[in-house]
């Protein structure tokens, strides 16, 4: 294709392309935006050229994959990373695009007309004072992305979410030695299709579907070759996580209406419904499982006096009693997304730590569980058992996923089935995997000033950002990333926007970051892949390691205002005055506190398990004065700085809705902004002027795919 129709001369003759405010030189791999010339990577250069050639149409992802990476290589996530690079250099934004628009389920489209230029620039470019005109967002200024996208993150990653759980996107190099599997799209005719389960053995599936943006979720049944699914719409609220028995005579699912969550049991067609149990209202509580014979059912139970944490309960449906529970002990833990082996003898589930954001895949047989570690630089996102009691899991490293088989006895990797596009909510019937897909296009730290303006991007996309931490002066912001290069610490100068890598701590996860009050150093709590935990002191600005001490079992850390002492929290939720006192219950401090943080005014504040709200602490770390509202299971990341208290909140009556709440602790005035792309568990911070720093994830579409794979070949 030629650019002749866009201006005099052809691309082959002139080699320059212009569009409003930009000159693109594909032969030199350079991009001029205003007076700034920037070098493009080869992939970014090739992709932008393809978008110009495709104008005014969108360039399909599959076409871009073949042209830029070659047949059968690359993934949608790698394309998204290249598009993110182009947007950064163009000064463009995915949520309000001026140059490059994401076309859902298709690819990417150039929004401005490219014009072939001669090298003297004699053909004028239709420049605008501020670049090309922005497209007006369809939603309100506060609702920057469609509601369906956050639901995808929540419902898929951790039930809904959390997460995001969702949490962590670990970037990695491509693995050319592994085959890239191409799943088949089998459900793509509604706003969101998610939580698929095999419905018998003939290729049928049952899943949750949202037919209208912002509407309730319903149960859908789809037989092989069926053009449209059969949908059961309930007037009693949203219904999620359908799980059929192997003979299709029973169907368990979750129903949510406002602040009530019910585990329901019906016949195989979704009729003759009856309530089995009350489940956890928060996102993870909506994911359940049932054995193939329909005898046992597993779900996340709501918090009760018998358990400090939210645990998975396994019910005997015939006897109507609980058989056993998962072994979570800390009030900061929620066990969710349970999967029972076919014979019911083993239980796998995810465990989420609300303070650190740590997500573990655990396997329980009997009274205790153990963690199944993912490959280095990756995280588990889904798991499932086969009819032959074999355990499979999906991992993700930020550039895509891997489908693997795990040994349930040793926890070791049995085989890598292949690389796949990212996914969630895995199921397997012995011949075919089904799962839902949701791609994260961009992740970054943004600031919100509650003035009515959209969030302002503070950092460029790398891997998933976490733990934003302001310095005492408010001039600098720390944040953490992770991936194949290991856990890394970055610092951004807020006045200039310059971002620098301060340190890399190796393979593992950063659980906490804290500045020293005088900004001469910073502390980090690091959990290595081998299970060890370390407290590390780093010099600033050089990043030299000043101290490293073992902190076994540590999961969170807070620096006291003096800067000389630390509070370390263990996995059971107890706080200690240093790593050397960990695992000594007699030395525990503030035993009922969930999260302790500095308040920016020389003191400490904490959220508690037994007391609603966030409280100011006295010198003995006891609650002394209520500062603001806080409800565990509804409110998540929070931060306080002098008179400003900010938190991330999920609306229990609209689980897909996420809010950023800012409260003035002096007069109690609250402001609330809906931000559906908020990361619930990545952490937040607030400065002395009330500007809140959050992590945002921008998602694409949510569909269901299938992948044929017969495990009997390996028996």
SS (H, E, C) 29-45: CEEEECCEEEECCHHHH
Is residue 473 over pLDDT 60?
A: yes
Residue pair 193/436 in contact (Cβ under 8 Å)? The answer is yes
Report pLDDT digits (tens) over 424-454.
Answer: 889 998 889 988 886 555 678 889 999 888 8
* Percent of the chain surpassing pLDDT 70: 78
- Cα separation, 193 vs 152, in Å, equals 9
- Cα separation, 257 vs 38, in Å, equals 53
Residue 565: both structure tokens together: 């002492």
Quickly state the pLDDT bin for 629 (edges 50, 70, 90).
Answer: confident
Quickly state the pLDDT bin for 170 (edges 50, 70, 90).
Answer: very low
Is residue 120 over pLDDT 50?
A: no
Selection from 204, 342, 195 nearest residue 283 by Cα? 195
Worst-scoring range by mean pLDDT, 303-317, 380-394, 403-417, 639-653? 303-317
- Cα separation, 526 vs 512, in Å, equals 7
- Cα separation, 66 vs 79, in Å, equals 11
- Cα separation, 348 vs 249, in Å, equals 25
- Cα separation, 589 vs 500, in Å, equals 36
Is residue 655 over pLDDT 80?
A: no
Is residue 220 over pLDDT 70?
A: yes
Residue 200 CA neighbour count, 13 Å, CB half: 12
pLDDT at 563: 55
Quickly state the pLDDT bin for 250 (edges 50, 70, 90).
Answer: very high
Is residue 354 over pLDDT 70?
A: no
- Cα separation, 398 vs 377, in Å, equals 9
DSSP 264-308: EEEETTS-S-EEEEE--SSGGGG--EE-TTS-EEEEEPPPBTTBS
- Cα separation, 33 vs 79, in Å, equals 22
Quickly state the pLDDT bin for 125 (edges 50, 70, 90).
Answer: very low
CA distances in angstroms from 526 to 169, 504, 556, 557, listed in the order given: 17, 11, 9, 10
Which H/E stretch holds residue 219? Answer: strand 217-222
Chain mean pLDDT for the chain: 78
Average pLDDT for 52-81: 79
Residue pair 447/691 in contact (Cβ under 8 Å)? The answer is yes
Average pLDDT for 634-661: 82
Quickly state the pLDDT bin for 107 (edges 50, 70, 90).
Answer: confident
Is residue 10 over pLDDT 60?
A: no
Worst-scoring range by mean pLDDT, 38-52, 157-171, 227-241, 248-262? 157-171
pLDDT at 338: 94
Selection from 250, 207, 75, 174 nearest residue 706 by Cα? 207
CA 447, distance to chain mean position in Å, is 19
Overall residue count recorded for the chain in this entry: 715
Average pLDDT for 537-546: 91
Residue 256: both structure tokens together: 């949510």
Q: Phi/psi zone of residue 644: left (φ > 0), alpha (ψ -120 to 50 degrees), beta?
A: beta
Is residue 693 over pLDDT 90?
A: yes
pLDDT at 604: 86
pTM exceeds cut of 0.85: no
DSSP 565-601: -EEEEETTS-EESSGGGTT-GGG-BSTTEEEEEE-SS
- Point out which residues pair with 535 in neighbouring strands: 525, 549
Quickly state the pLDDT bin for 569 (edges 50, 70, 90).
Answer: confident
Q: How buried is residue 562: exposed, middle or buried, by Cβ count under 10 Å (0-12/13-18/19+)?
A: exposed
* Percent of the chain surpassing pLDDT 90: 20
Helix (H, G, I), strand (E, B) or coil at 336: strand
Selection from 618, 616, 617, 634 nearest residue 626 by Cα? 616
How are the residues of the chain apportioned to helix, strand and coil, as percentages rounded to the nearest 5? 10, 45, 45
What is the longest distance spanned by two Cα atoms in the chain?
84
Worst-scoring range by mean pLDDT, 36-40, 137-141, 186-190? 137-141
Is residue 523 over pLDDT 50?
A: yes
pLDDT at 684: 92
Rg of the chain taking only CA atoms, in angstroms: 26
Worst-scoring range by mean pLDDT, 78-87, 177-186, 433-442, 509-518? 177-186
Report pLDDT digits (tens) over 362-376.
Answer: 999 988 899 898 876
pLDDT at 297: 94
Helix (H, G, I), strand (E, B) or coil at 399: coil
Is residue 398 over pLDDT 70?
A: no
Worst-scoring range by mean pLDDT, 167-181, 369-383, 685-699? 167-181
Quickly state the pLDDT bin for 161 (edges 50, 70, 90).
Answer: very low
Quickly state the pLDDT bin for 483 (edges 50, 70, 90).
Answer: low
pLDDT at 564: 62
**Beta strands across the sheet bearing 289-290:** 289-290, 296-300, 312-316, 321-325
Residue 95: both structure tokens together: 């949520």
pLDDT at 537: 92
- Cα separation, 537 vs 281, in Å, equals 39
- Cα separation, 356 vs 511, in Å, equals 5
CA distances in angstroms from 436 to 163, 186, 431, 698, listed in the order given: 15, 10, 17, 17
Residues 6+ apart with CB under 8 A from 334: 280, 282, 284, 300, 309, 310, 328, 351, 352, 354
Report pLDDT digits (tens) over 588-610.
Answer: 887 677 788 888 887 888 887 66
Worst-scoring range by mean pLDDT, 229-243, 276-290, 444-458, 504-518? 276-290
CA 389, distance to chain mean position in Å, is 29
- Cα separation, 135 vs 316, in Å, equals 55
Residues 6+ apart with CB under 8 A from 132: 19, 20, 21, 98, 99, 111, 112
CA distances in angstroms from 119 to 2, 17, 44, listed in the order given: 17, 10, 22
Average pLDDT for 33-52: 83
Average pLDDT for 180-201: 78
């Amino acid at each position: 294709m030629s650019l002749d129709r866009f201006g005099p001369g052809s691309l082959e003759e002139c080699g320059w392309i212009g569009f409003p405010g930009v000159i693109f030189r594909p032969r030199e791999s350079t991009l001029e935006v205003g007076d700034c010339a920037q070098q493009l990577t080869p992939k970014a250069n090739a992709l932008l050229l393809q978008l110009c050639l495709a104008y005014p149409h969108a360039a399909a992802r599959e076409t871009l994959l073949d042209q830029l990476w070659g047949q059968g290589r690359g993934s949608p996530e790698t394309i998204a990373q290249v598009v993110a690079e182009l947007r950064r250099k163009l000064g463009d934004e995915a949520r309000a695009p001026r140059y490059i628009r994401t076309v859902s389920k298709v690819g990417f489209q150039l929004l401005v007309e490219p014009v072939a230029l001669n090298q003297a620039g004699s053909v004028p470019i239709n420049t605008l004072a501020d670049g090309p005109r922005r497209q007006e967002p369809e939603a309100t200024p506060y609702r920057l992305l469609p509601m369906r996208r956050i639901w995808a993150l929540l419902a898929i990653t951790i039930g809904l979410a959390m997460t995001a759980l969702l949490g962590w996107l670990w970037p990695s190099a491509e693995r050319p030695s592994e085959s890239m599997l191409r799943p088949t799209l089998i459900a793509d005719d509604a706003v969101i299709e998610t939580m698929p389960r095999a419905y018998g053995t003939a290729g049928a599936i049952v899943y949750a579907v949202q037919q209208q943006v912002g509407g309730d979720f319903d149960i859908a049944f789809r037989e092989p070759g069926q053009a449209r699914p059969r949908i059961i719409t309930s007037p009693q609220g949203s219904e999620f996580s359908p799980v059929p028995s192997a003979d299709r005579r029973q169907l368990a699912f979750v129903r949510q209406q406002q602040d009530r969550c019910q585990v329901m049991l019906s016949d195989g067609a979704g009729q003759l419904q009856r309530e089995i149990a009350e489940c956890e209202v928060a996102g993870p509580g909506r994911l359940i499982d049932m054995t193939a014979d329909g005898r046992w059912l597993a779900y996340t139970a709501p918090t009760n006096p018998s358990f400090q944490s939210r645990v998975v309960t396994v019910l005997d449906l015939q006897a109507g009693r609980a058989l056993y529970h998962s072994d979570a002990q800390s009030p900061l833990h929620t066990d969710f997304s349970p999967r029972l082996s076919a014979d019911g003898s083993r239980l796998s589930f995810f465990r989420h730590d609300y303070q650190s954001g740590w997500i573990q895949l655990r396997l329980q047989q009997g009274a205790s569980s153990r963690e199944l570690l993912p490959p280095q630089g990756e995280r588990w996102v889904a798991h499932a058992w086969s009819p032959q009691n074999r355990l499979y899991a999906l991992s993700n490293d930020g550039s895509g996923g891997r489908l693997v088989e795990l040994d349930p006895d040793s926890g070791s990797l049995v085989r890598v089935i292949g690389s796949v596009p990212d996914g969630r909510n895995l199921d397997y019937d012995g011949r075919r995997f089904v799962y839902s897909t949701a791609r994260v296009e961009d992740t970054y730290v943004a600031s919100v000033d509650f003035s009515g303006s959209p969030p302002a991007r503070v950092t460029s996309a790398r891997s998933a950002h976490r733990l934003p931490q302001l310095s005492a002066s408010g001039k600098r912001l720390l944040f953490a990333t992770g991936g194949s290069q290991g856990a890394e610490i970055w610092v951004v100068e807020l006045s200039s926007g310059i971002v620098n890598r301060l340190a890399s701590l190796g393979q593992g996860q950063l659980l906490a970051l804290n500045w020293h009050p005088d900004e001469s150093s910073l502390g980090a709590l690091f959990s290595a892949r081998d299970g060890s935990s370390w407290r590390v002191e780093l010099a600033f600005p050089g990043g030299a390691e000043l101290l490293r001490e073992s902190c076994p079992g540590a999961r969170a850390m807070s620096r006291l205002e003096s800067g000389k002492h630390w509070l370390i929290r263990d996995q059971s939720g107890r706080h200690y005055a240093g790593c050397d006192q960990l695992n000594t219950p007699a030395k525990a401090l503030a035993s009922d506190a969930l999260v302790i943080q500095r308040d920016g005014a020389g003191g400490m504040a904490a959220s508690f398990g037994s007391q609603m709200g966030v409280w100011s602490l006295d010198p003995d770390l006891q609650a002394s004065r209520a500062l603001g509202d806080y409800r565990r299971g509804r409110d998540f990341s929070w931060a306080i700085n002098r008179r400003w208290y900010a938190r991330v909140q999920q609306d229990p009556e609209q689980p897909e809705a996420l809010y950023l709440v800012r409260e003035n602790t002096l007069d109690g005035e609250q402001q609330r902004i809906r931000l559906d792309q908020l990361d619930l568990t990545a952490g937040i911070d607030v400065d002395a002027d009330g500007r809140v720093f959050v992590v945002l994830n921008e998602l694409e579409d949510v569909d269901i795919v299938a992948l044929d794979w017969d495990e009997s070949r390996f028996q």
